[in-house]
Amino acid sequence: MTEPPTTTARSAKAAQTRTRILEAARRVLGEEGPERFTTRRVAEIAGVSHGMCHYHFKDKRELTLALIVHARRDWVEPLEELVDGPGTAEARMRAVIAWMAEPQTTDVMRVHQTLFVFALQDELVRERLAAEFARWRAPFVKLFAELAVELDLQGLDARGVGEAFAAAADALVQEQSLDPGLPTGEMLTTTFERIVSGNGARPAAAKRSSPRKRQSRSSSGR
């Protein structure tokens, strides 16, 4: 007689099924829109029974709440990895800006925007998504606090500046999804360098570029 699966194996299989359902929910929102976002349609895309979908998620609201956490991989977790990565604070800031300037895929933006719309209609969803935005802002606050020490930016309000920069960056990414030609990287870099120079320091990139060199590049048309 075949031995019954162990508790660990059953748990792993359940986790895999849950992930499949979340991936299917993300796909429905990203490719088909909120009108098609039902537990029945999600179950169909996931290749599981409707009952199995409801076994893991009581209703569409619970599925939406789980999807908010699942969506961290698209925006919050990559940011945290960059901010906690190696290198100087300035180098990490520039890496964050370069990452932010990369155009987001249409499906990612659709999921992000739809979750925001859902949050406007449901208080619990609003609270969960607000917590994710707070987690999004935190790495910027941490990075500006490190920049203040590294560049001797006396009097810099790391929390205020960090949270404002985070909000601006998020807004620019959303605008870039409508206008791919938006110079998101240049705009964020300019903002960052003005913040730094306005607090008594010059960023390394600015120090490396003398006025004569900048004029030379300008006259060459690049």
**Of the spans 157-161, 194-198, 211-215, which averages the highest pLDDT?**
157-161
> In the prediction, which pLDDT does 206 show?
52
In the chain, what is the straight-line distance between the N-terminal and C-terminal CA atoms, in Å? 74
Residue 28 and residue 37 in contact, taking contact as beta carbons nearer than 8 Å: yes
Poorest-confidence range of 23-32, 141-150, 153-162, 191-200? 191-200
Neighbour-count burial for 163-180, b at 16+ CB within 10 Å, e otherwise? bbbbeebbebbeebbeee
Tokens of 196: 């730094």
> In the prediction, which pLDDT does 207 show?
53
State the residue for tokens 């098609």. 36
- What mean pLDDT comes out for the span 129-152? 96
Confidence band, pLDDT 50/70/90 cuts, at residue 11: confident
% of the chain residues with pLDDT over 70: 86
- What mean pLDDT comes out for the span 82-102? 96
> In the prediction, which pLDDT does 219 show?
36
Confidence band, pLDDT 50/70/90 cuts, at residue 221: very low
The mean pLDDT of the chain is: 88
One DSSP character per residue, the chain reads: -PPPPPHHHHHHHHHHHHHHHHHHHHHIIIII-GGG--HHHHHHHHTS-HHHHHHH-SSHHHHHHHHHHHGGGGTHHHHHHHHTSSS-HHHHHHHHHHHHHSPPPHHHHHHHHHHHHHHHH-HHHHHHHHHHHHHHHHHHHHHHHHHHHHTT-TT--HHHHHHHHHHHHHHHHHHHHH-TT--HHHHHHHHHHHHHHHTT---HHHHHS-HHHHHHHHHTT-
- What mean pLDDT comes out for the span 57-80? 95
pLDDT greater than 50 at residue 52: yes
Q: Domains along the chain? A: 1-57 (1.10.10.60), 71-207 (1.10.357.10)
pTM: 0.82
State the residue for tokens 């790495």. 139
Q: Give the residue from 186, 220, 221 showing the smallest Cα distance to 205.
A: 186
